[in-house]
Amino acid sequence: MGFMEIALPVVVSFVITVIAGKLLIPALVKLKAGQSIKEIGPTWHMTKQGTPTMGGLMFIIGIGLTIVVLGWKNMMAGSFVHLYVYLFALVFGVIGYIDDYQKVKHHHNTGLTALQKFVLQLAAAVAFLCLMRYEGMLSPNLYIPFWNTHLVLPWTVYLIFAAFVIVGTVNAVNITDGLDGLSSSVTVPVGVFFLVMAVVWPGFQQLGVFSGALVGGLLGFLVYNHYPAKVFMGDTGSLFLGGAVAALAFAYDMPLVLILVGIVYICETLSDIIQVGYFKLTHGKRIFKMAPLHHHFEMCGWKETKVVAVFTAVSTVFCVIAFFAVRYRFTF
User: What is the secondary structure of 227-260 as a DSSP string?
Assistant: SSPS---HHHHHHHHHHHHHHHHHHTT-GGGHHH
- Count of CB atoms situated within 10 Å of the CB of 220: 26
Percent with pLDDT over 70 in the chain = 92
pLDDT bracket for residue 2 (50, 70, 90): low
- The chain-wide mean pLDDT, for the chain, equals 90
Q: Is the pLDDT of residue 47 over 70?
A: no
Task: Break the chain into its structural domains and give their ranges.
Answer: 3-326
Q: Is the pLDDT of residue 78 over 80?
A: no
DSSP line for 90-158 = HHHHHHHHHHHHHHHHHTSS--S-HHHHHHHHHHHHHHHHHHHHHTT---SEEEETTTTEEEE--HHHH
Percent with pLDDT over 90 in the chain = 72
**Mean pLDDT calculated for residue range 127-139:** 85
pLDDT bracket for residue 74 (50, 70, 90): confident
pLDDT number for residue 210: 96
pLDDT number for residue 45: 58
Q: Is the pLDDT of residue 153 over 80?
A: yes
**Mean pLDDT calculated for residue range 150-162:** 93
- Sign for the pseudo-dihedral over CA of 71, 166, 314, 56: positive
**Mean pLDDT calculated for residue range 108-124:** 86
Predicted structure pTM score: 0.93
Distances (CA, A) of 162 to 45, 122, 243, 280: 36, 10, 13, 30
**Mean pLDDT calculated for residue range 104-119:** 81
Lowest mean pLDDT among 44-48, 146-150, 224-228: 44-48
Q: Is the pLDDT of residue 303 over 70?
A: yes
Residue 326: closest CA among 177, 198, 170: 198
Q: Is the pLDDT of residue 65 over 60?
A: yes
Lowest mean pLDDT among 136-140, 159-163, 306-310: 136-140
Residues in the chain: 332
pLDDT number for residue 21: 96
Q: Is the pLDDT of residue 279 over 70?
A: yes
Q: Helix, strand, or coil here: 177?
A: coil
**Mean pLDDT calculated for residue range 15-30:** 94
Q: Is the pLDDT of residue 283 over 90?
A: no
- Sign for the pseudo-dihedral over CA of 243, 249, 253, 259: negative
pLDDT bracket for residue 64 (50, 70, 90): very high
